[in-house]
C-alpha cells in the first residue's frame, strides 16, 4: 500500500495528537472513497452494490451532499403551520 505525506499547520497537528485514538489513515481513506462515490453518483445517478454497502456501513449517501432544491425549501416555507401543536416537552405528546 502506498503512503501519502501532507504538510499541516503545527496547531492542527497538536489537535490531531490529542485524538491519538483516531485512525487518521482510515478517516482519510473513507473520505476519499466517499468523494469517489459522490462523483460517480453525480455522473450516473446510481452507485454500485459494494459502494451502497459501504455507504450503509457509515450511514451516509451521496445525496446527503447535494444542496436542497429551492422548490423543496419553498414548499416547506409555504406549509400551513397553524394546525401544528406546540410541544414544550416530549411527554406532552403522550397526554
Is 9 among the domain residues? no
* Number of structural domains the chain divides into: 1
Residue 60, judged by CB atoms within 10 A of its CB (0-12, 13-18, 19+), counts as middle
Q: Using CA atoms, how far apart are residues 5 and 34, in angstroms rounded to an integer?
A: 20
Q: Residue 37 belongs to what domain range?
A: 31-79
Is 86 among the domain residues? no
- pLDDT digits (tens), the chain, 95 positions: 888 899 999 999 999 999 999 999 999 999 999 999 999 999 999 999 999 999 999 999 999 899 999 999 898 888 877 777 778 888 877 87
Is 39 among the domain residues? yes
Q: Which three cell numbers stand for residue 47?
A: 452507485
Is 25 among the domain residues? no
Is 22 among the domain residues? no
Q: Using CA atoms, how far apart are residues 42 and 63, in angstroms rounded to an integer?
A: 9
pTM for the complete prediction? 0.66
Amino acid at each position: 500500500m502506498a503512503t501519502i505525506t501532507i504538510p499541516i499547520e503545527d496547531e492542527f497537528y497538536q489537535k490531531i495528537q490529542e485524538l491519538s485514538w483516531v485512525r487518521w489513515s482510515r478517516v482519510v481513506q473513507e473520505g476519499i472513497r466517499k468523494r469517489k462515490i459522490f462523483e460517480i453518483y453525480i455522473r450516473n445517478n446510481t452507485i454500485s452494490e459494494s459502494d451502497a454497502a459501504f455507504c450503509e456501513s457509515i450511514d451516509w449517501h451521496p445525496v446527503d451532499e447535494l444542496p436542497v432544491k429551492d422548490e423543496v425549501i419553498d414548499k416547506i416555507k409555504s406549509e400551513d403551520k397553524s394546525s401544528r401543536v406546540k410541544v414544550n416537552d416530549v411527554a406532552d405528546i403522550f397526554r
